[in-house]
Amino acid sequence: MTSTPRRLLLVNGPNLNLLGVREPDIYGTETLADVEGLVERTAASRGFDVRSVQSNHEGVLIDAIHAAREDCAGIVINPAGLTHTSVSLADALKAVALPVAEVHISDLSSREGFRQVSYVRDVAVVHVIGEGISGYAHAVLRLIDVVTGQADG
């Protein structure tokens, strides 16, 4: 019997490398390093480790998602602008058949109309929207509950 890996993949899409300087009135002043540290600490509190990837290139993110099927139990993803445009990213998430948590720092429902579309929404089993970077911790805990069979309902 193969046991479930105790690792999550954290995926951050385009422009999230500029957290802390990019539109701080929307995204806050915390950096990508702050996000990654928060996710690592939160996952570690439940006995999981994290592999993180951020890229401004869709193919790099897709390759990382494909690789996750080898040694990850789930994926936490903030696809950023690719949320609204990338069928390929959604298809990659479907193809690996791992539980997915979709995270967004800002509340997409109160932003521009094009941000209302999420190709990831139907793939994800967890959605955390508009909680700032603390939403990443919330998403990690909920995803671990799904992975370990502790989720409600």
Catalytic residue among 66, 104, 119, 138: 104
Q: Is 27 a catalytic residue?
A: yes
Average pLDDT, rounded, for the chain: 91
pLDDT beneath 70, residues of the chain = 1-2, 108-116, 153
Q: Is residue 1 part of a domain?
A: no
Q: Is residue 2 part of a domain?
A: no
Binding residues for substrate: 78, 84, 91, 105-106, 115
Q: What is the CATH number of the domain that holds 93?
A: 3.40.50.9100
Q: Is residue 48 part of a domain?
A: yes
Domain count, the chain: 1
Q: Is residue 127 part of a domain?
A: yes
Q: Is residue 153 part of a domain?
A: no
Q: Is 136 a catalytic residue?
A: no
Q: Are 82 and 58 in contact (CB under 8 A)?
A: yes
Query: pTM for this one?
Result: 0.93
The predicted-structure confidence for 25-38, as pLDDT tens digits, reads as follows: 878 889 999 999 99
Distances (CA, A) of 86 to 23, 40, 56, 91: 23, 27, 13, 9
**What is the reported pLDDT for 1?**
42
